[in-house]
A and B are shown apart, each in its own frame.
Chain A
Amino acid sequence: MTNPSSPPVFQSSNPPIFHPSSLPVFQSSTLPPFQSSPLLFRRAFRISLQGIRIRLGRSMVTLSGVVLGIAFLMSTVTTQFINRAVAQEREARQQLNLMANVVRTQIGAIAGKTLAVAVCGALSPVESDLLDFLRAAQPAGLRIHGPAPEAPPSAFARGASAVLLLGDAPQCPVPLATLTEGMITRLVIDSRTDRACEPDATVRRETIFNRQVDDQREREAHRAAGERFRTLWIVLISLAVTVIGVANALLMSVTERFREIGTMKCLGALSSFIRRLFLIESALIGLAGSVLGVLAGTLMTMGVYGCIYGFALVFGTIAYGALALAGVAATLAGAVLAVLAALYPAHFASRMVPAAALRSTV
């Protein structure tokens, strides 16, 4: 101040009470905790909700982006569920026909004949269906042994036209000769080609499955793998488009709210509060959009396939538990993607300088 070239210095008549060189009286470590209360989270939640309401039009556009993306995802998933269920149902019917045909080819009409069924191991659904089919065909007698590991009683098959060997046990517990004791024509119809049996020259063993079914199944599997890859690719693209759409809408929202954000910062909002505002808004939109998308995608797909395959088949065979699980997963995925999309816009908003609130034209 003694230097004549220094700029003019204005001093008030009263000296300042403090001394500038003294230590700061507040520092991060000594500040009382602030902006961490649940109250503030509720406030941020309400501001976000009001923000959505006040900009309802744009929020709805953002929402519909999420709805479309998730609906597409869910429609793909549901299609796979339905196709799998319908294919299983078809294959079961096909196998049952095959089995019934083998039995009919070997013994002719079932009605009036006696059949012995030895069950070793657990029955497959198709084998249970076959039993039901045999019962319905009005045989004179249907002796069923098992499922049990021990051998059937002696002369179990006396007078029977054929012995059916069912179940998933890899090995026949008794020699075929013992099994067919007392039969006039010693015939065993086995549900498995690969079951180990002690053979006997006097016993004829027919198996139900043939190579054709296995080949067909293999071709199906190859085709399904290619299909799955294409579907996955399309789903990923649609989800990426959703994320970009949400991010774009939120960036616009941020630019529109520059002054509001600046004002909140002037009032003492931390950057994390501003960030939270946008993340909450996006999560809400993402959640609502996902729920709607899951419902729309699932119901529409089930409706369309119901018209093609018949409603009874589609609604009767689908695995509802797994489908519900997929729906919940898709909802969560939608919400998480929306929050991911909001990360950059929220960061952008939180970096705003408070002085922006003072600009009269933004």
Chain B
Amino acid sequence: MGDSETHALRGVTLDIRRGEYLSIMGPSGSGKSTFFNMIGGLDKPTSGKVYIDQVDIAQLDPYELAWLRCRKVGYVFQTFNLIQVMSCIENVMLPMAFAGKDSEEAREAAMRILERVGLAERALHKPAEMSGGQQQRVAVARALANAPDILLADEPTANLDLKTGHEIIELFCRLRDELGVTIISATHDLKMLKASDRICWIDDGRLERVSIPAELNIDVENVE
């Protein structure tokens, strides 16, 4: 459960283990976004298979895909993408509403998640009243609303300064350790690469290599 195996982009095969923190690296146009969208069920592959929880998501109908995105996968975006007209807690409760959860019970659950990301006291604030780092933490809380197995993050620190970016990375590590969430993140942030368990390098539609952060120093020098 919670693991996924991906055959994507020109015969690439990759297993992602449960509770793993995986970073995806690659220049723009490398197919990184496609790869990322495939894993998250945002796009269907034209051929090949993407398995999440033993299910080939290419075979799913729109209703099942919505169910998957609602319950199995949580999304964190580069630009936070909070619904501006809703307060923090309403943002967190939105995926719960999609999952058909009762309002009172959902509110309590949302409060607990906001506490986990350290923003319980700001639950009633609107996104516009918060800093970028806080907004991103609310977005992470929203992604966790239905206790997903997988957290997908698309360059989550790209719009944040060093310090708040670091907070998000720490939050991801904590979630992985405490909740056993699988974290898959597309990133260019070296600090994020260092924190992850494995790094996939994608170039020209191929999986060039998979490395671990211990090898990173050499890689960083190459990149720089």
Contacts and interface: CB of A to CB of B under 8 A. Distances in A.
Interface of A: 6-12, 14-20, 22-28, 31-37, 39-40, 43, 47, 50-51, 53-54, 259-260, 262-271, 273, 353-355, 357-358, 360
Q: Find the residue from A19, A36, A262, A267 having the highest chain B CB count within 10 A.
A: A267
Interface string B1-41: 10101000011111111100000000000000100110010
Given A37-B100, A39-B97, A358 B154 contact: yes
Nearest to A273: B98
A267 B69 contact: yes
B220 interface: no
A7 B205 CA distance: 11
B146 interface: yes
Contact of B53 (A18, A35, A37): A18
A54 B85 contact: yes
Interface stretch (B73-81, B129-137, B177-185): B73-81
A34 B98 contact: yes
B17 A357 contact: no
Interface of B: 1, 3, 5, 10-18, 33, 36-37, 40, 42-43, 49, 51, 53-56, 59, 61-64, 66-67, 69-71, 75, 77-79, 81, 83-86, 94-95, 97-100, 102-103, 142, 145-146, 154, 198, 206-207, 209-210
Contacts of A28: 61, 63-64
Nearest 7 Cβ contacts at the A-B interface? A268-B70, A50-B85, A268-B98, A18-B54, A263-B81, A34-B100, A355-B42
A12 B5 CA distance: 10
Nearest to A27: B64
Nearest to A14: B17
A36 to B, nearest CB: 7
A12 B142 CA distance: 30
Chief secondary structure at chain A's binding surface:
loop
Given A18-B51, A25-B53, A263-B81, A35 B86 contact: no
Given A12-B17, A31-B64, A353 B43 contact: yes
**Most chain-A Cβ atoms within 10 A of its Cβ — which of B70, B98, B146, B198?**
B98
A273 B62 CA distance: 13
Nearest to A266: B75
B3 A16 contact: yes
A351 to B, nearest CB: 10
12 contacts: A20-B5, A20-B56, A28-B64, A40-B97, A265-B69, A266-B75, A267-B142, A268-B69, A268-B99, A354-B69, A358-B78, A358-B154
Contacts of A22: 54
Contacts of A47: 83, 85-86
Contact of B54 (A19, A51, A262): A19
B94 A267 contact: yes
B100 A36 contact: yes
Nearest to A40: B97
B86 A264 contact: no
A346 to B, nearest CB: 16
B75 A267 contact: yes
Contact of B78 (A32, A260, A355, A360): A360
B81 A16 contact: no
Contacts of B207: 7-8, 10
A53 B126 CA distance: 15
A10 B210 contact: yes
Contacts of B12: 7
A186 to B, nearest CB: 88
Nearest to A11: B15
B13 A9 contact: yes
Given A7-B10, A20-B51, A265 B37 contact: no
Contact of A264 (B1, B54, B94): B94
